[in-house]
Structure 1
Amino acid sequence: MSTAPDLEKHATAPDTHDDARGAETRKRRRNQVSSRPFAGRIGGNQEFTLTPSDASFTSITHTVPDASSSFTWRESVRLTAFADVDLWKESVLEGVGTCLQLYLAGMYAVGLGPAAAATSLGPLVPAVVGGVSNWFLITLFIYAGGPVSGGHFNPFITMSTFFARLAILPRTVLYVAFQCAGAVVAGRVLRASLGRGSDAFKQVPGCYIDTALVTPGEAYALETMTSFALIFIAFGVGLDPRQRQVFGPALSPILVGAALGLCSYSSGIAREGYSGASLNPARCLGLMAAGERFDYHYIHWLGPLTAAMLNGLMYWVIPIYKD
């Protein structure tokens, strides 16, 4: 026959066990990786997106529809996502990443500027060095920022994902705003770090166009076609879900970086007076702000914007997914 203390011990044992299980559950939650699904993540091949079968599909896509690879234009332009705190955090990371990326890129860009006239090969040497440097730089930053924000660090990439219906309008607006702010900060800090005047930033490769040699139409054609080539490759290797079965999401950042390096190299040696395609409007915004000169800067935005629209049209005509 059980005594009163025995009954008390048996009664309290389940509570102790429940507390232990609760502590274990809380520990598992603390150790969960914090990464939100996003269809426009460069290098993810849409591997990290939600499907209607996911338990959290409705609750997450109600706020951020681009957590799924399929959403309507009406959902894309819905403004409720501006109230999402996590989206603001991801946008801040885009600004910080863009700032750091352009600070590093700006240093070797300023250093390579005089090399075009200092070597007998003209722009070939700085174009090669710049292209290879861009390859490594872009690849590493995509790896670093991809799990959180998608690793864009470039308004051109963000605009392209919007027109291809892989990113919602609020994300696009916030990302571009923070990317531009980060780029301007990078340009000003770089100028202060180097102790150089504005003249040192007026002929930076990829942002300098000699208006006496290159017409606006020529610059626009060069910017548009080079940007279109880059985004065609970037979407094919970094966002097409069919590539999961070919090489998976791990290799695609390297290929996107290689594509940008190739485009910057080829455009940097093709035309006298044209130092190469921008491929990142924020980069030129920051460096031209440091140089206090904005010759043809509108083309650094108009060309990529046109390419983003063309790429979006192509993905509408030839969609990735079947109806």
Structure 2
Amino acid sequence: MPPQQNSILRPRAPSIFPGSYAVGPQVQSAWPLEADAFRVDTGALSLGKTDSTGETAAEKRRLRLAPEPVPRDSVLIAPSDSWRGALRESVNLSVWTDPQLWKAGLIEFASSMALAFITGAIGVTVSGYPPYMIGPALFVASTVVISLFIYAFSTSSGAHLNPLISIATMFTGLSHPVRSIIYVACQVAGSCVGGGFLRVGLGYARALEVHNGGCFLDPNGPVTVGQAAAIEFIAAFSMLMIAFGVGLDPRQKQLYGATLGPLLVGMTVGLIVSGTSTLNPGYTGAGISPGRCLGLAAGLGKFYSHDWVWWVPDVAAAALHALLYFAAPPYTRELRCPEPKSKSQTGSVVGDGAV
């Protein structure tokens, strides 16, 4: 007799898809709505009012909140149940013209523009620091900036802010392909505008001297293109592994909550950026944000033939992470022990654990 299938999912995945910060507000079509999926017991909340028996009003009324319809203006397109479904939906014109999707894309554009300018300015500032101060300064700055941007924009667009995140969530089925494509286009465009503002503020000579605060690999320096590609790949893969575990995967929202996840992701980015920032002269370290690298270079108007190292390794890392994500999902199911069979069912009983 097979064990009972009353399994427990930890963290539990509710039927309404609440999303992580990167998934954003949407309804997951793959998980049908269940009655009483969200039950909130507010009996312990004291409102300071008592009735004739001395009980508080909150203690007297215990509210059970069933799932309510999600307002259309707060819903983004849900991920498809399969890649075949995603491809079929991607040729549907109504998906591409969804106004809510483009509003979210506009937020990604504006936030990426601001993020590229701020992070580029930070890069310019720390470039004049002594080498032993660059790493710690970048860690603190990156942690604070990324966390604040996620807190600010997570409820409106999911705060991807990075083509690597949009591509990774698409590969893992957490973001619809159309949404990811629109986001990547808006992120790159916004980063280019932000890079342009920084170049204007610095002046061309200064911007050229500090590479506009962006990603740089000296073609004549000690770090080869192959070495930079290897560093970029493992840095992007490491970031995705940790970020999905602490904030990107919606199941983890049950574990870390909406407040702690963005901070942990910001710390992850800060660790990687600071840890690779001073590996070798002529190399600014892992970019792990292709849109930002391209945008700051576009603002300066100077490109190199090896600029693919900020894109190709990141996409490859996202693909490898997706394979691992499906081969070994980042959650476990625990099966309850089967009920012992009676003597009449088994014909004999062996201690208390007869099966």
- Do these two structures clear the TM 0.5 threshold for a shared fold by scoring above it? yes
User: Following superposition of structure 1 onto structure 2, how do residues 147-162 of structure 1 map, counting pairs within 5 Å?
Assistant: 147-162=155-170
> 1:209 corresponds to which residue?
217
> 1:167 corresponds to which residue?
175
Deviation at 1:128, TM superposition (A): 1.8
Q: How many residues align?
A: 275
Deviation at 1:43, TM superposition (A): 8.2
> 1:106 corresponds to which residue?
120
C-alpha distance in structure 2 between counterparts of 1:321 and 1:153, whole Å: 26
> 1:274 corresponds to which residue?
283
Between 96-105 and 191-200, the greater mean CA deviation after superposition: 191-200
- Deviations along 1:261-292, one digit per CA (max 9) or x if unpaired, are 00001111333432111011111111112332
Structure 1, unaligned runs of 5 or more? 1-35
C-alpha distance in structure 2 between counterparts of 1:173 and 1:47, whole Å: 17
Q: Larger % of helix: which?
A: 1
Q: Answer whether contact 1:97 1:141 (CA < 8 A) is retained.
A: yes
Q: Answer whether contact 2:20 2:250 (CA < 8 A) is retained.
A: no
Q: Answer whether contact 1:94 1:151 (CA < 8 A) is retained.
A: yes
Deviation at 1:303, TM superposition (A): 1.4
C-alpha distance in structure 2 between counterparts of 1:48 and 1:125, whole Å: 45
> 1:27 corresponds to which residue?
none
Q: Answer whether contact 2:212 2:297 (CA < 8 A) is retained.
A: no
Normalised by the size of structure 1, how large is the TM-score?
0.77
* SS of equivalent residue, structure 2 residue 311: helix
Normalised by the size of structure 2, how large is the TM-score?
0.70
- Pair 1:96 & 2:96 matched: no
User: Following superposition of structure 1 onto structure 2, how do residues 1-323 of structure 1 map, counting pairs within 5 Å?
Assistant: 39=19, 41-42=21-22, 49=28, 51-53=31-33, 64-66=77-79, 71-77=81-87, 78-79=89-90, 80=92, 81-115=95-129, 119=130, 122=131, 124-197=132-205, 198-202=207-211, 204=213, 207-212=215-220, 213-295=222-304, 296-320=306-330
Q: Answer whether contact 1:39 1:167 (CA < 8 A) is retained.
A: no
C-alpha distance in structure 1 between counterparts of 2:176 and 2:137, whole Å: 36
> 1:9 corresponds to which residue?
none
> For the structure 1 residues 112 and 210, does the alpha-carbon distance in structure 2 shift closer, same or farther, using more than 3 Å as the test?
same
Amino acid across the alignment from 2:298: A
Amino acid across the alignment from 1:290: G
> 1:18 corresponds to which residue?
none
* SS of equivalent residue, structure 1 residue 107: helix
- Deviations along 1:74-124, one digit per CA (max 9) or x if unpaired, are 232322321211001000100100001111111111122233xxx3xx3x3
Q: Answer whether contact 2:236 2:288 (CA < 8 A) is retained.
A: yes
Q: Answer whether contact 1:156 1:279 (CA < 8 A) is retained.
A: yes
Deviation at 1:310, TM superposition (A): 0.9
> For the structure 1 residues 125 and 203, does the alpha-carbon distance in structure 2 shift closer, same or farther, using more than 3 Å as the test?
farther
* SS of equivalent residue, structure 1 residue 246: helix
Deviation at 1:202, TM superposition (A): 2.1
> For the structure 1 residues 260 and 221, does the alpha-carbon distance in structure 2 shift closer, same or farther, using more than 3 Å as the test?
same
- Deviations along 1:188-209, one digit per CA (max 9) or x if unpaired, are 111112334341342736x111
Deviation at 1:320, TM superposition (A): 4.7
* SS of equivalent residue, structure 1 residue 53: coil
Q: Answer whether contact 1:201 1:288 (CA < 8 A) is retained.
A: no
C-alpha distance in structure 1 between counterparts of 2:22 and 2:82, whole Å: 21
C-alpha distance in structure 2 between counterparts of 1:63 and 1:90, whole Å: 8
Q: Answer whether contact 1:201 1:287 (CA < 8 A) is retained.
A: no
C-alpha distance in structure 2 between counterparts of 1:247 and 1:320, whole Å: 14
- Deviations along 1:213-245, one digit per CA (max 9) or x if unpaired, are 211110110000011111111100003344344
> 1:4 corresponds to which residue?
none
Q: Answer whether contact 2:76 2:101 (CA < 8 A) is retained.
A: no
Q: Answer whether contact 2:191 2:294 (CA < 8 A) is retained.
A: yes
C-alpha distance in structure 1 between counterparts of 2:160 and 2:123, whole Å: 20
Deviation at 1:48, TM superposition (A): 7.3
Structure 2, unaligned runs of 5 or more? 1-15, 35-67, 334-355
